[in-house]
Amino acid sequence: MANSYFSVKVQNEKQKTFYSFLCSVFLTITMRILFVCLGNICRSPAAEAIFTHLIEQNKLWKTISCDSAGTAGYHEGQGAYPKMINVAGKRGYKVTSISRQVRPDEDFEEFDLIVAMDNQNIADLNRMAPLGNAKAKICKMTDFALRKNYTYVPDPYYGDTRDYELVIDILEDACEGLLQSITN
């Protein structure tokens, strides 16, 4: 499926439905994206920071916005994990989000795209999704990767600095691909 808004190789009917939905979203004035991981203190806040950086760099703040949330509320009200803030900061990203849990009734209405970090996040989001076309908004971060060949963004929480750097590497690549998908 290809058009002036979005060009991808569609491999199955589910993807065709999903990308058709994405194409319809591009006709709106503002694209709102929600990045989701488990606790909203490592991966999704980093994705939000990286994508915000790309939005600002490309002067797209009037047309694209993003936020992040977790499928669980373990850390609600807390800032991102210090290791992630540190590693992302060394690459020039400001991770400033405050953790919150996904609010299904609000988030599936407010956001045009809900980008999960792994398959468990997708399963959790599918369970949370209200009836209607809400599930069509859910996708996986690594589906947008341009160069990295990962099927999910690993949770670095118990890992060392290299694990956090890998997450940033994957997110930089996938965020770039996501932005290209939206703007091309």
Q: How far is Cα 16 from Cα 4, in angstroms, rounded to an integer?
A: 16
112 is catalytic: no
Question: What pLDDT shows up at residue 5?
Answer: 38
The average pLDDT across 105-134 equals 96
Parent domain of 69? 32-183
Per-residue tokens: 136: 């069509």
Residue 80 falls inside a structural domain: yes
Residue 105 falls inside a structural domain: yes
42 is catalytic: no
State what percent of residues in the chain have pLDDT above 90: 80
Residue 25 falls inside a structural domain: no
Give 21-58 pLDDT, tens digit per residue: 665 555 544 899 999 999 999 999 999 999 999 999 99
Q: Which of 63, 65, 28 is nearest to 48 (CA)?
A: 65
Catalytic residue among 107, 112, 155, 173, which?
Answer: 155
Catalytic residue among 43, 67, 107, 112, which?
Answer: 43
Domain count, the chain: 1
Residue 27 falls inside a structural domain: no
Residue 91 falls inside a structural domain: yes
pLDDT at 1 over 80: no
Catalytic residue among 37, 42, 66, 139, which?
Answer: 37
Residue 21 falls inside a structural domain: no
Q: How far is Cα 7 from Cα 1, in angstroms, rounded to an integer?
A: 7
129 DSSP 8-state letter? P
Give 54-65 pLDDT, tens digit per residue: 999 999 988 999
Residue 11 falls inside a structural domain: no
43 is catalytic: yes
Residue 7 falls inside a structural domain: no
Q: Which of 180, 133, 154, 132 is nearest to 7 (CA)?
A: 180
Question: What pLDDT shows up at residue 12?
Answer: 63
Question: What pLDDT shows up at residue 30?
Answer: 82
Question: What pLDDT shows up at residue 25?
Answer: 55
Q: Which domain CATH number covers 141?
A: 3.40.50.2300
| pTM, full prediction | 0.84
